[in-house]
Structure 1
Amino acid sequence: MPGPSIKICGVTTRDALSATIEAQASHVGFNFFPPSPRFLALADAPALAMQAEGRLTRVGVFVDADDAALGDAVAAARLDAIQLHGKEDPARAAAIRTRFGKSVWKVISVAGPGDVAKADAYAGVADFILFDAKTPKGAALPGGLGLAFDWDLLRAYKGPLPWGLAGGLSPANVAEAVRGTGTSLIDVSSGVESAPGVKDADRIRTFCFNARTA
């Protein structure tokens, strides 16, 4: 059985992108949420988009963004997919998919079984579900905090859409996560950093190796 797809999220520099490519990841995440320490300015996006061309699937990460912001980022970063990490409901996901003609990923924040079931509402309006850990009330960011949830909640999940796993993943636990959930994609950000927003090439390499050989 082939290993899962691997997304390194929150890449902001050419060096980090080079490490992602060399580690044979499949996807790169460009974060367009300004409060994040991994925020990618539009002016810096075209160079990274060109570097990733033909090597990685480019996924833009957004939190309740309007159409203008989405359009600017889609153009600047030549996005292949739009990841919705806010409170976007199925109707909003459908509208974005129709307007931009890109694959739409919806992040579902998970703390318990009822949260996992919310993914079913996006059948037919999104293309992919990403299960992530629910952040504490009052948190400044909706993700990227290194938090995990109980992966057993996904062990028997048979939803209508393909799905991936995020939240609290690291080189140390990614193999366990892959084996325990059977996920088709794993998404990591803070787990391969030496400081918030600073990607570490060795951690990226080890993460990808451990994921593929789980």
Structure 2
Amino acid sequence: MGRLFVKICGITRQDQAEAIAALGVSALGFIAVPNTPRYLPLSEMARWVGSLPDHVEKVGVFLDQDPRAIAAWVETVGLTAVQLHGQESPQDCQQLGEWLPGIRRIKALRVRQPQDLEVANLYRDCVEVLLLDAYHPQQAGGTGRTLNWPELA
């Protein structure tokens, strides 16, 4: 059986990140979306995120941000992956892959009904990971809701 991949998201403090990394987590997520509760400004993120252990993937979470801005965050902070939670198109994701070779792209899809899963095929060749997120009318992610798996089957 393969190793379980565990990502803890919304980290805002260095001591939290270091303690969680020491427990063997696979990845830590840092919110780069202004005006959200767990937003971590670029200057603060850059100060300590890149110094976390190499075995921990460092994921920047973005929402409808310009690909050039995302690339700047990756380069400044030392992120190893980007998680895209907005309306980013497959073309946006492809472009990020060209600009940021070796950086894992995670596309979050908000799923409310089975038809929403059809969008996943559009991203097949332009991201490494799809994250299925429970739909919420006002929030793009981090809601704590789970998908209605029986309805989606």
Query: How many residues align structurally?
Result: 152
Indicate conservation of the 8 Å contact 1:10/1:38, yes or no: yes
TM-score for both structures, normalised by structure 1: 0.66
Alignment partner, residue 142 of structure 2: 144
SS of residue paired to 1:5:
coil
1:97 offset after TM fit, Å?
1.2
1:89 offset after TM fit, Å?
1.4
Alignment partner, residue 135 of structure 2: 134
- Unmatched segments (≥5 aa) in structure 1: 156-214
Give the superposed CA RMSD.
1.7
* 4+ aligned runs moved over 4 Å, structure 1: none
1:45 offset after TM fit, Å?
1.2
- Unmatched segments (≥5 aa) in structure 2: none
Change (3 A) 1:153 1:130: farther
Indicate conservation of the 8 Å contact 1:116/1:153, yes or no: no
Alignment partner, residue 103 of structure 1: 104
Letter in 1 for 2:38: R
TM-score for both structures, normalised by structure 2: 0.90
SS of residue paired to 2:125:
coil
Alignment partner, residue 89 of structure 1: 89
Indicate conservation of the 8 Å contact 1:26/1:57, yes or no: yes
Letter in 2 for 1:58: K
Indicate conservation of the 8 Å contact 1:63/1:85, yes or no: yes
| Separation of aligned partners in 2, 1:84 and 1:124 | 15
1:150 offset after TM fit, Å?
1.1
| Separation of aligned partners in 1, 2:96 and 2:152 | 27
Alignment partner, residue 12 of structure 1: 12
Alignment partner, residue 74 of structure 1: 74
Percent of pairs identical after alignment?
A: 31
Change (3 A) 1:26 1:104: same
| Separation of aligned partners in 2, 1:64 and 1:3 | 32
1:37 offset after TM fit, Å?
0.8
Indicate conservation of the 8 Å contact 1:17/1:48, yes or no: no
Letter in 1 for 2:8: I
| Separation of aligned partners in 1, 2:62 and 2:15 | 23
Alignment partner, residue 63 of structure 1: 63
SS of residue paired to 1:54:
coil
1:12 offset after TM fit, Å?
1.3
Indicate the structure whose relative CO is greater, using CA pairs within 8 Å and at least 6 residues apart.
1
1:154 offset after TM fit, Å?
6.6
Alignment partner, residue 120 of structure 1: 121
